Structure 1
């Protein structure tokens, strides 16, 4: 069932983004009097189609893209049969270069607008809930495996990021940090100031399946709901209790509790409990999985801000274009060798896994907004067969006053298609390999 939900979210998200992208091309082309022969969401074989005026609107069976076919344009269809005759007034090739440039930018522009609108709407509707720096540094962080890898320790209080102050716990795990070059954390470690360097290839480590977690807040806790019939219930644990000791080891924070109980799986243990100021001694049979059967109520004070439209527009726009910048930085790290392409390149399987196996509309729109900005960025790359390739050739034509020949454009499209199919094939193979064999 989870797989079906992942697939459904992927198909819906891509259909929305591809449909809007191709609609951007279609509307721009029609605005300049160009004839649009086909508009398709998905690639052939066609599963549905309807003719309206001069344009056939259709849905393809392969939901990994889409296209518009504009008369007189050398595109991915490589249909050049009509290019040997004189251009008709309604053809793409008959229009001024600046109009053709706008048509090719239409899809990119619509995807940017879509991403910005989604992030603005999410910010406006949901507001912002976050753990402030001062709340985090009451008890410091828990250094998980990746945190320990770079030299952080449990209990560290992070003072700044590369010499710059931060506001929220989430800032410590932002793309700016994970993609930083020569970055570092300044931490307070038992009263001493320590510099912890962030490796330039740090983002690459997040692709390692054998590494678990980076950092989380260190929190005191009390007992929340107790499962009926569980070891906690049978041992007399009640909601609101606080652990003072477990198996003879002092316990203050939840990470200490987890660390101790993981060493006592399947054992009968004693625990000291604070119940409304009264000390009690209880005995529990720890499960083989290292659990007692209660929900930990972690004591964290989150801040919440409900933003108005103006602030939401600023924050949403910043997040949208921040996504583009992070992709530019990540692409640069691939070329420098700091990031492995196999870990950073996501195909349809990985994207579906990002959506997740449960349907959450906030997460769906957040990921869809991110994908919209990534789609705009990737399409702007100067690769023949992508919009950016057309933009590159049209920009050359505008500046030089010389139009590349149709034969040159046809050959460039062929090269671009081979390159794109190679990248797509690698992405799908990489998805399968890393998901099932690595």
Structure 2
């Protein structure tokens, strides 16, 4: 799934450069999926362009004649400019060629989100529907939350969706909650965020639900005692119990003890005696209330909604750098490269995940490529804007040295990211 997504995104990105180059009658010497260091897995020349597949799956490229790029073909640049070369074209045409890949990545994400919203709608849990508040574990408590809190705002902004509130909490500075009827604002500490990031945010916060049973495990203590699906726990040992976290806390803290459980079954009260095993589990699953809602969109409504979703994904990705560059959160250790991303993929084919991931990653590629780093599209755009503003292009030496510096930076980042992926695997094996 990952290889297919990357292949599609790389091909479309490079087409974004290829098509305007052809429209402006610029010679394209190569069009490659993946990099062909020393040799290619496949190549075929059609017209003036060699199309191929390299063996190193770190992206792809188009080699445009008369352009300082990763190939560092300086011999060609020593000759007199030819009319079909990149350097002979007007600056505005060169700018369109260089922005083409980023534009295609953005438009692809917009297209995918539009059709997903049109076909499936937008399903989410509204923050306002959490009538019993949130449930947090020990990591959530280190951030300052308490079970039962109702999230009102993060950095003075209300979050419509519960999942967005979770991301806002990681990226925000302070949160306002309703705690037992009192409005309380407290800072979101770097130390607390570090704890969340180290566990990759697993279950540090969810929504609170009543202590209702969805199912009992076969051969479990609960089933043999007579607890069945649909039962709602209302008390233990004469003390009122309303929520699932309260019930599990009592059970987990009572190994080898007998509990008198009071429950509601079909509107009538019943009592059941149960002895909790050594491991503090009795074999029941919670019946979490389904609080999800779905907004539906007509086709013409889905178009602006898809654009809004694309911008939201982009801004969230930009905001993440705030914590990545904050060493106190340790977020830089959680940055994942190709190996780490593959580990996150579902083990069976999932079309919803496939399209969501492709759209998200397409936005990510657009953002990364537009960064003003030489060797990336954004680096070329930076030099072109300088030329358009100043009226004179940078010297050939500046372009070549910039390309080398940018390449070194990118290779250094790749080494760090791959090394981080490998180290995380090693830590799990030790």
State the TM-score, normalized to the length of structure 1. 0.88
Structure 1, residues 254-291: CA drift from partner, whole Å, max 9, x if none? 11222222234566654333221333333446566544
Structure 1, residues 183-237: CA drift from partner, whole Å, max 9, x if none? 321x222232222222367655432239753321110142223344333332222
Equivalent-residue separation in structure 2 for 1:56 and 1:208 (angstroms): 46
Do 1:145 and 1:212's aligned partners in 2 also have CA atoms closer than 8 Å? no
Using the TM superposition, give the Cα deviation of residue 344 of structure 1 relative to its aligned residue in structure 2, in angstroms. 5.1
- Where structure 2 has 5 or more consecutive residues not aligned to the other structure, the ranges are none
- Asked if 1:78 corresponds to 2:72, the answer is yes
Equivalent-residue separation in structure 1 for 2:289 and 2:206 (angstroms): 13
Equivalent-residue separation in structure 2 for 1:99 and 1:51 (angstroms): 26
Question: Which residue in the other structure is 2:13 paired with?
Answer: 21
Equivalent-residue separation in structure 1 for 2:326 and 2:386 (angstroms): 29
What is the correspondence of 1:154-193 to structure 2 with a 5 Å cutoff?
Answer: 154-175=147-168, 177-181=169-173, 183-185=174-176, 187-193=177-183
Structure 1, residues 80-107: CA drift from partner, whole Å, max 9, x if none? 2222221222211221221111111111
- Asked if 1:99 corresponds to 2:89, the answer is no
Using the TM superposition, give the Cα deviation of residue 358 of structure 1 relative to its aligned residue in structure 2, in angstroms. 4.0
Question: Which residue in the other structure is 2:117 paired with?
Answer: 123
Equivalent-residue separation in structure 2 for 1:210 and 1:198 (angstroms): 17
What is the correspondence of 1:393-408 to structure 2 with a 5 Å cutoff?
Answer: 393-408=383-398
Question: Which residue in the other structure is 1:67 paired with?
Answer: 61
What is the correspondence of 1:246-395 to structure 2 with a 5 Å cutoff?
Answer: 246=236, 250-265=240-255, 269-284=259-274, 286=276, 290-335=280-325, 337=327, 339-340=329-330, 342-343=332-333, 345-395=335-385
Distance 1:307 1:201, change over 3 A: farther
Number of aligned positions between the proteins: 426
Distance 1:386 1:203, change over 3 A: farther
Distance 1:251 1:359, change over 3 A: farther
Question: Which residue in the other structure is 1:5 paired with?
Answer: none
Between 227-236 and 382-391, report the one with greater CA deviation. Answer: 227-236
Equivalent-residue separation in structure 2 for 1:341 and 1:154 (angstroms): 25
Equivalent-residue separation in structure 1 for 2:55 and 2:65 (angstroms): 24
Please give the secondary structure, in 2, of the residue aligned with 1:298: coil
Question: Which residue in the other structure is 1:153 paired with?
Answer: 146
Please give the secondary structure, in 2, of the residue aligned with 1:237: coil
Do 1:150 and 1:196's aligned partners in 2 also have CA atoms closer than 8 Å? no
Query: Which has the bigger relative contact order, CA under 8 A and spacing at least 6?
Result: 1
Equivalent-residue separation in structure 1 for 2:402 and 2:157 (angstroms): 46
Equivalent-residue separation in structure 2 for 1:337 and 1:389 (angstroms): 27
State the TM-score, normalized to the length of structure 2. 0.90
Do 1:145 and 1:211's aligned partners in 2 also have CA atoms closer than 8 Å? no
Distance 1:286 1:30, change over 3 A: farther
Distance 1:253 1:401, change over 3 A: same
Distance 1:357 1:84, change over 3 A: same
Match of 1:243 among 233, 240, 245: 233
Do 1:37 and 1:68's aligned partners in 2 also have CA atoms closer than 8 Å? yes
Equivalent-residue separation in structure 1 for 2:167 and 2:300 (angstroms): 24
Do 1:145 and 1:213's aligned partners in 2 also have CA atoms closer than 8 Å? no
Question: Which residue in the other structure is 2:32 paired with?
Answer: 40
Do 1:73 and 1:91's aligned partners in 2 also have CA atoms closer than 8 Å? yes
Please give the secondary structure, in 2, of the residue aligned with 1:357: coil
Question: Which residue in the other structure is 1:52 paired with?
Answer: 46
- Where structure 1 has 5 or more consecutive residues not aligned to the other structure, the ranges are 1-8
Equivalent-residue separation in structure 2 for 1:328 and 1:250 (angstroms): 47
Do 1:111 and 1:376's aligned partners in 2 also have CA atoms closer than 8 Å? yes
Do 2:154 and 2:172's aligned partners in 1 also have CA atoms closer than 8 Å? no
Question: Which residue in the other structure is 2:222 paired with?
Answer: 232
Do 1:143 and 1:152's aligned partners in 2 also have CA atoms closer than 8 Å? yes
Equivalent-residue separation in structure 2 for 1:76 and 1:159 (angstroms): 50
- Asked if 1:109 corresponds to 2:103, the answer is yes
Equivalent-residue separation in structure 1 for 2:348 and 2:259 (angstroms): 37
Q: CA RMSD in A?
A: 2.6
Do 2:236 and 2:261's aligned partners in 1 also have CA atoms closer than 8 Å? yes
Please give the secondary structure, in 2, of the residue aligned with 1:154: coil
Structure 1, residues 348-405: CA drift from partner, whole Å, max 9, x if none? 1222233343432212221221111111111111111111111111111122221223
Equivalent-residue separation in structure 1 for 2:286 and 2:82 (angstroms): 72
Please give the secondary structure, in 2, of the residue aligned with 1:48: strand
Distance 1:202 1:356, change over 3 A: farther
Do 1:124 and 1:308's aligned partners in 2 also have CA atoms closer than 8 Å? yes
Do 2:197 and 2:331's aligned partners in 1 also have CA atoms closer than 8 Å? no
Please give the secondary structure, in 2, of the residue aligned with 1:174: helix
